[in-house]
């Protein structure tokens, strides 16, 4: 797929508030490589999962609600624009029909827990305490 075809698949937002986010995605994605739709989707799913784990499972937050909302919206836009790349074998069931309204019901695995620990340390310079039973 050529860049022009790729960009045509990303629809303008009906809400002008989100149009800058659509423009950001258009500037980010490339037909292949590091910024392919599949790689971008995986990266943003990871962000949403990590920050949801920190917030809902650990009671911690290192990003604002607005930043989380933007990441969730990017996931939603990428999934709507490129449905063929949604099968990443990376939390596919969690994100199937996902509205982006909350991360409360998203699952996690050891990779997400380790990414959460790393992310928390980068932001806070202290070790994340994982609650019992998580």
Look at residue 87 and tell me if it is in a domain.
yes
Look at residue 134 and tell me if it is in a domain.
no
In 3D space, the residue among 110, 99, 116, 96 whose CA is nearest the CA of residue 56 turns out to be: 116
For residue 36, the model assigns a pLDDT of: 97
Look at residue 31 and tell me if it is in a domain.
yes
Q: What torsion, rounded to 10 degrees, do the Cα atoms 12, 14, 17, 23 define?
A: 0
Owning domain of residue 99: 3-124
Mean pLDDT of all residues in 97-110: 96
Look at residue 133 and tell me if it is in a domain.
no
Taking the C-alpha atoms of residue 100 and residue 75, their distance in angstroms, rounded to an integer, is: 8
Tokens of 43: 């990266």
Number of structural domains found in the chain: 1
CB 76 within 8 A of CB 56: no
pLDDT of 133 above 90: no
Look at residue 130 and tell me if it is in a domain.
no
For residue 51, the model assigns a pLDDT of: 98
Look at residue 28 and tell me if it is in a domain.
yes
Look at residue 60 and tell me if it is in a domain.
yes
Model pTM score: 0.94
How far lies 54's CA from each of 36, 45, 63, in Å? Answer: 27, 14, 10
Written as one string, the DSSP assignment of 40-55 is HHHHHHHHHHHHHIII
For residue 39, the model assigns a pLDDT of: 97
Where residue 26 falls among pLDDT bands split at 50, 70, 90? Answer: very high
Average pLDDT, the chain: 95
For residue 106, the model assigns a pLDDT of: 97
pLDDT of 105 above 90: yes
How far lies 8's CA from each of 12, 47, 75, 120, in Å? Answer: 9, 25, 17, 37
């Amino acid at each position: 797929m050529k860049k022009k075809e790729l960009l045509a698949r990303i629809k303008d937002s009906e809400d002008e508030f989100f149009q800058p986010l659509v423009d950001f995605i258009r500037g980010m994605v490339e037909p292949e490589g590091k910024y392919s739709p599949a790689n971008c989707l995986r990266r943003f799913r990871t962000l949403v999962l990590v920050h949801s784990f920190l917030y809902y499972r650990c009671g911690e937050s290192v990003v604002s609600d607005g930043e989380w909302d933007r990441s969730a919206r990017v996931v939603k836009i990428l999934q709507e624009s490129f449905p063929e790349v949604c099968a990443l074998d990376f939390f596919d069931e969690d994100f199937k029909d996902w509205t982006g309204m909350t991360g409360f019901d998203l699952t996690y695995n050891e990779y997400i827990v380790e990414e959460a620990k790393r992310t928390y340390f980068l932001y806070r310079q202290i070790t994340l305490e994982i609650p019992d039973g998580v």
